[in-house]
Amino acid sequence: PGFNSTSDTALAKSFKQLAALHNWDFLGLEYIGSYDPKATALRFYNEVKNKDVGNYVFVGKSFGGFWANAMAIQFGEKCCVMNPAMDPDHLLCDYGLPTELYSAYTDFIPVFIYENPTTVILCEDDPIINAQNTSSMFKDSSAKMVMLNHGGHSGDNEVFLCETAKLMTSDFISELS
């Protein structure tokens, strides 16, 4: 989920249905209490690590996109993100969180190397995430970029679900070829 949201949204329910359709597991991660990047990363890592599943596709929007990408890199898995907050220190500033968190995220960001199979969906009319700045962060990667001229910060959930389904089924399709 994105900043201050839960895994009980209509979109999360759609992802659960997509996962069930293909007999995949669904794990919704939520922020609980702390936005400290090290504490959050450790909690998310432990939640995923303790699940006995493989072949993940991590998904997330906005701040959730930041964490989906981080977990995908950590576990060497696929990732589909929409309007990801790849510079969360600026996002945190906009929401008025404590300034000590800004530098914590700035220090945390260089860990990320964008080499995992990734689809990045950006909406050019997003008033919160700058699509051009975010796309430049992925310019030296193999990420598939999907630019939409509509959707705002909420994005186009149908595109998000379809692109995620493509990533989820790509291994299966290549095995059939």
What's the 3-state SS for 47-91? Answer: HHHCCCCCCCEEEEECHHHHHHHHHHHHHCCEEEEECCCCCHHHH
For 154-173, the pLDDT digits (tens) are 888 899 888 888 887 765 44
For 59-116, the pLDDT digits (tens) are 888 888 888 888 888 888 888 889 888 877 666 666 666 666 666 776 665 455 556 6
Share of the chain above pLDDT 70, in %: 70
Share of the chain above pLDDT 90, in %: 7
- C-beta separation of 103 from 89 below 8 A: yes
- What tokens does 114 get? 């964008």
pLDDT of residue 28 exceeding 80, the answer is no
pLDDT of residue 26 exceeding 60, the answer is yes
